[in-house]
């Protein structure tokens, strides 16, 4: 085998690895945007012409970002999306990819006088596109695989919780948006 194809295969493998890391970073940015209810950050994970199919929502992903963040601010007290397995396959053209990413969402939701904890597990089935060197989602389908719902047992005061003074909040009040932790 000549050195040129080997070098070419190695360069392609490095390009694919860098693409997978860029896509994983955008998945993390998506989770930050949705949990902090920051529509602009959430939109930055999608191309303006991207589509989102998520429950009863089926349409433009930027409209989804506005809809979802407003909806979450109205009754969801807290949330945390945790992504797990991310199987990202780069297409031969190097500018398109598809992925299946496992996600577990933890939500603390007000329901009248009751507060409930919801755990929803599913997968993001995505198509990604690189434009001018930047990867973003071009098409997403959310698939719910299971869920659990129960009255909340969350404690915010007493015992160890009295020592945990820094609490998460929605954008722009979250410690991340305040520039914390400070530089030393």
How would DSSP label each residue in 148-168?
EEEE-----SSGGGGT-----
Residue 41 sits at the vertex; the CA angle it makes with 37 and 46, to the nearest 5 degrees, is: 115
Looking at residue 166, its pLDDT comes to 84
Under 8 Å CB-to-CB from 89, ≥6 apart: which residues?
Answer: 97, 98, 99
175 occurs within a structural domain: no
> Which helix (H) or strand (E) element contains residue 103?
strand 96-111
**In this predicted model, which residue has the larger pLDDT, 6 or 24?**
24
Bridge-based pairing state of the strands 134-151 and 46-54: parallel
144 occurs within a structural domain: yes
User: pLDDT digits over 50-91, tens only?
Assistant: 999 999 999 999 999 999 999 999 989 999 999 999 999 999
Positive or negative, the CA dihedral 129, 131, 136, 142 is negative
183 occurs within a structural domain: no
63 occurs within a structural domain: yes
* Rounded mean pLDDT, 19-33: 98
184 occurs within a structural domain: no
Q: Where does the pLDDT of residue 161 fall: very low under 50, low under 70, confident under 90, or very high at 90 and above?
A: confident
> Which helix (H) or strand (E) element contains residue 125?
strand 114-131
169 occurs within a structural domain: no
10 occurs within a structural domain: yes
Count of the separate structural domains present in the chain? 1
Two structure tokens written together for 136? 């973003």
Looking at residue 181, its pLDDT comes to 77
How does the average pLDDT of the chain come out, rounded? Answer: 93
109: containing domain: 3-162
Looking at residue 88, its pLDDT comes to 98
**For the domain that residue 148 is a member of, what is the CATH number?**
3.10.450.50
168 occurs within a structural domain: no
Rounded to whole angstroms, how far apart are CA atoms 115 and 134? 40
Q: How many CB atoms lie within 10 A of CB 25?
A: 12
């Amino acid at each position: 085998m000549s050195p040129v194809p080997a070098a070419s295969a190695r360069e392609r493998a490095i390009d694919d690895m860098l693409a997978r890391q860029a896509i994983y970073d955008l998945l993390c940015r998506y989770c930050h945007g949705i949990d902090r209810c920051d529509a602009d950050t959430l939109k930055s994970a999608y191309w303006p012409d991207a589509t989102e199919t998520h429950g009863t929502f089926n349409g433009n992903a930027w409209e989804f970002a506005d809809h979802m963040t407003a909806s979450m601010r109205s009754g969801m007290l807290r949330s945390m999306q945790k992504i797990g397995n991310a199987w990202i396959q780069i297409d031969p053209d190097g500018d398109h990819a598809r992925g299946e990413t496992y996600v577990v969402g933890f939500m603390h939701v007000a329901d009248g006088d009751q507060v409930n904890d919801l755990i929803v597990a599913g997968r993001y089935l995505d198509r990604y596109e690189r434009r001018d060197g930047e990867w973003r989602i071009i098409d997403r389908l959310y698939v719910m695989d299971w869920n659990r719902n129960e009255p909340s047992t969350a404690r915010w005061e007493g015992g160890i919780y009295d020592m945990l003074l820094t609490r998460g909040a929605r954008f722009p009040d979250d410690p991340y948006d305040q520039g914390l932790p400070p530089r030393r």
